[in-house]
């Protein structure tokens, strides 16, 4: 076998006939030339699941899909194969009642109805011990404990996915995970196998654009948007149906880290996101998100405005189909025990309630199998729904018996239907008694491994995304591509990805190519795309500052009354003020005495949304203070000083008349109003030209 592989490398053509070599039982080789099943059956296609027609649902008879996904689901014991690094919180969802016309699901249709929820945020690629702030897709999974059963909305912070068909899910994750020989790099996509895969599977291009943008490094879970990714079918009381896309809109706004912040946080505080989430809830600054839906016609075409709704690599721009807000989620309680709740919670796209159905999206169809199958190994058997965190909040009588970790004590002697022994119970529930009855729809077509032609457009929405970004966001995206591809060793992979980018935007391709020192290939990007302003995170009007953190630099002789006044104003708006001093302890005396929450040794800019220097602080050249202020300035954060605190900024090299720098003689209404405005804009992006030459947008 080894000699046959060698001759193939040297250019000779080995026989394509099945090999008859007898392999010893103790030598389980993985050296065959052709892709096969685990039983040795040669496979002509591993990119498409078997469907009833190109647009039909996936067939259960697809033994290759089930074998491939099953093996993938059971690769890790007991850590999750994906989304291993997570943080979670309990909360409540309150319906606005504005979805009543499109769904009979009680928890969405009835105004004022409150539903208990459990939400888990996560990264995709890293292990449980990886850092929070890596560039990655984030999971945004919500378990609704409704009176009609459990509904899981298992989404992400990116509205599209890398692949169109779930049969390729093991492939994209294998490509993104650490290399199997060295188990590096951890929680990163900046390596050869990832870029090899996405440059060969160009359907990933749209998702890659999102991941390389600022969306790939959110500021916090509180400021992260969420999406259901797929098109779902909603069913109204009247029986009328609609297709919808689910959106989570953070009340605090959509904000991200800059790349240097993400790198610093991964080193000095790898728990940055989970700490922020837990601390916010403990402080009473509860993270809030509004649930919205894009309502689209269910006319049998599974498309809208020329967009294939069954293609999970496509979005429907909000300008084309506005998002209707239908309820608010508030996270108000931290888990009591990480393992019992956050680690053991089990989500599944097949956990549905009356009024919500799935569609023929081939990625969704595979997820319906995969999530359930995964729990069997990870949670030790079929009874994971009996764990307290997963337990439904409504009556259950499933007639499932025994199995590992069976906690229920089932009464009766007839676990079957129908029976005449146990009072004929349990009985079937008709639709009028909240029974789940799918809307009848025709399903027909030849059994094929293929996609519809509409799935072939891999670039137009990636182009729309790039051209919808602000100039500074485009710069960040170019830098991300340049950094990630610069980490690849194989020149052919870099060149192939540049070919992909040439089909997205010529300017994007040229800038990345220049950063890599390679020629930019010519492509044919779409020129008729309409930008979607909703895709940009840069805002022009100040948003809320609840949950934001202001660091105030002070020393023993600082203006304590001014700090007290600033704290009072910030507290009214839901923000937090923390005092930073050279050493810990107390500053001042009496009613204006201040507790030192951070020292210059423990404080870094990443922890704060704004840094302010209190008046009457003597100028200093303390290198740690200079680092703190210069980081905040370089990251375009709000910076302020009052009184002689301005001398500290000047000594640290801060440009006092730069955008986002707030100065005053004292803490008065004008000073606090200007600081709140700067903080509400998240960052002073107009300052970017001063702090990084590459932030100057290219001509044209």
457: which 2 tokens?
């457009």
Identify which of 631, 629, 695, 688 has the alpha carbon closest to the alpha carbon of residue 659. Answer: 688
578: which 2 tokens?
């923390």
Residue 512 and residue 321: Cα distance in Å, rounded? 33
Residue 297 and residue 310: Cα distance in Å, rounded? 13
Transcribe 229-268 into DSSP letters. -SPEEEE-TTS-EEEEEEEEEETT---B--HHHHHHHHHH
Whether 123 contacts 134, CB under 8 Å: yes
- Exactly one of 64, 83, 201, 351 is catalytic; name it: 83
Whether 171 contacts 197, CB under 8 Å: yes
Which residues make beta-bridge pairs with 291?
Answer: 248, 327
Cβ neighbour number for residue 587 with a 10 Å cutoff = 21
Transcribe 164-192 into DSSP letters. SSGGGHHHHHHHHSPPTTT--STT---SH
Residue 77 and residue 71: Cα distance in Å, rounded? 12
Residue 419: CB partners within 8 Å, gap ≥ 6?
none
Cβ neighbour number for residue 556 with a 10 Å cutoff = 15
Residue 272 and residue 132: Cα distance in Å, rounded? 6
Transcribe 105-168 into DSSP letters. -HHHHSTT-EEEEEEEEEESSS-TTS-TTSSS-EEEEEEEEETTEEEEEEEESSSS-S-SSGGG
Residue 423: CB partners within 8 Å, gap ≥ 6?
none
- For the question of residue 83 being annotated catalytic, the response is yes
Whether 637 contacts 608, CB under 8 Å: yes
497: which 2 tokens?
């990805």
Whether 203 contacts 209, CB under 8 Å: no
Whether 160 contacts 312, CB under 8 Å: yes
- Exactly one of 48, 156, 207, 635 is catalytic; name it: 156
Transcribe 57-68 into DSSP letters. PBPTT-HHHHHH
Task: Tell the residue number behind the tokens 């390596």, with chain if given.
Answer: 191
| Residue 387 DSSP class | S
C-alpha dihedral sign at 606, 612, 614, 620: positive
- For the question of residue 156 being annotated catalytic, the response is yes
The shares of helix, strand and coil residues in the chain, as percent rounded to the nearest 5, are 30, 15, 50
Task: Tell the residue number behind the tokens 């239907």, with chain if given.
Answer: 417
Whether 579 contacts 595, CB under 8 Å: yes
Active centre residues (catalytic): 83, 156
């Amino acid at each position: 076998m080894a000699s046959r592989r060698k001759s193939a490398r040297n250019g000779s053509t080995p026989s394509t006939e099945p090999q008859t070599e007898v392999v010893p039982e103790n030598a389980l080789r993985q050296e065959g030339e052709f892709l096969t099943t685990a039983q040795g059956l040669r496979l002509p296609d591993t990119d498409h699941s078997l469907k009833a027609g190109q647009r039909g649902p996936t067939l259960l008879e697809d033994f290759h899909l089930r074998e491939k996904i099953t093996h993938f689901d059971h690769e890790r014991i007991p850590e999750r194969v994906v989304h291993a690094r997570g943080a979670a919180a309990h909360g409540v969802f309150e319906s606005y009642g504005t979805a009543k016309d499109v769904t009979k699901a009680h928890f969405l249709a009835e105004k004022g109805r409150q539903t208990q929820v459990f939400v888990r945020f996560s990264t995709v690629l890293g292990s449980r011990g990886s850092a929070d702030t890596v560039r990655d897709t984030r999971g945004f999974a919500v378990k609704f404990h409704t009176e009609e059963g459990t509904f899981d909305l298992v989404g992400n912070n990116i509205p599209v996915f890398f692949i169109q068909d779930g049969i390729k899910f093991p492939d994209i994750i294998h490509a993104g995970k650490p290399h199997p020989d060295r188990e590096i790099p951890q929680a990163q996509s900046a390596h050869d196998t990832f870029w090899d895969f996405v440059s060969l599977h160009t359907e990933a291009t749209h998702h890659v654009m999102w991941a390389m943008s600022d969306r790939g490094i959110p500021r916090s879970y509180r400021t992260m948007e969420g999406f259901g990714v797929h098109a779902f079918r909603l069913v109204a009381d009247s029986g009328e149906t609609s297709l919808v896309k689910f959106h989570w809109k953070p009340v605090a706004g959509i904000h991200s880290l800059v790349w240097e912040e993400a790198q610093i946080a991964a080193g000095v505080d790898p728990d940055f996101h989970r700490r922020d989430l837990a601390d916010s809830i403990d402080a009473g600054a509860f993270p809030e998100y509004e649930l919205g839906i894009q309502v689209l016609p269910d006319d049998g075409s599974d498309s809208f405005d020329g967009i294939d709704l069954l293609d999970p690599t496509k979005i429907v721009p909000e300008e084309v189909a506005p998002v209707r807000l239908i309820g608010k989620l508030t996270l108000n309680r931290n888990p009591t025990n990480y393992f019992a709740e956050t680690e053991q919670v089990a989500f599944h796209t097949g956990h549905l309630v009356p009024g919500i159905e799935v569609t023929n999206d081939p990625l969704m169809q595979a997820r319906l199998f995969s999530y359930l199958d995964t729990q069997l190994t990870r949670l030790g058997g079929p009874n994971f729904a009996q764990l307290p965190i997963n337990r439904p909040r409504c009556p259950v009588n499933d007639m499932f018996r025994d199995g590992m970790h069976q906690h229920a004590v089932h009464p009766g002697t007839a676990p079957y239907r129908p029976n005449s022994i146990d009072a004929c119970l349990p009985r079937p529930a008709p639709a009028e008694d909240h029974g789940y009855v799918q809307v009848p729809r025709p399903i027909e077509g030849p059994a094929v491994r293929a996609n519809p032609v509409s799935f072939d457009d891999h670039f137009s929405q990636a182009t729309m995304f790039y051209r919808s970004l602000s100039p500074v966001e485009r710069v960040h995206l170019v830098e991300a591509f340049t950094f990630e591809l610069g980490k690849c060793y194989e020149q052919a992979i870099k060149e192939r990805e540049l070919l992909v980018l040439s089909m997205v935007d010529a300017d994007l391709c040229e800038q990345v190519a220049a950063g890599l020192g390679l020629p930019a290939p010519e492509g044919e990007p779409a020129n008729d795309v309409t930008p979607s302003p909703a895709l940009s995170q840069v805002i022009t009007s100040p948003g809320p500052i609840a949950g934001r953190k202001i660091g105030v630099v002070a020393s023993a002789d600082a203006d304590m009354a001014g700090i007290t006044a600033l704290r009072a104003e910030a507290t009214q708006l839901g923000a937090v003020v923390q005092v930073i001093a050279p050493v810990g302890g107390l500053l001042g005396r009496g009613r204006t005495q201040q507790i030192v929450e951070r020292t210059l040794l423990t404080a870094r800019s990443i922890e704060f949304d704004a840094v302010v220097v209190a008046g009457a602080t003597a100028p200093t050249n303390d290198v740690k203070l200079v680092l703190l202020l210069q980081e905040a300035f370089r990251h375009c954060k709000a910076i302020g000083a009052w009184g002689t605190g301005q001398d500290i900024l000047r000594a640290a090299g801060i440009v006092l008349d730069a955008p986002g720098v707030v100065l005053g003689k004292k803490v008065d209404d004008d000073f606090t109003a200007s600081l709140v405005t700067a903080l509400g804009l998240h960052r002073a992006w107009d300052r970017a030209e001063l702090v990084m030459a590459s932030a100057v947008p290219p001509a044209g």
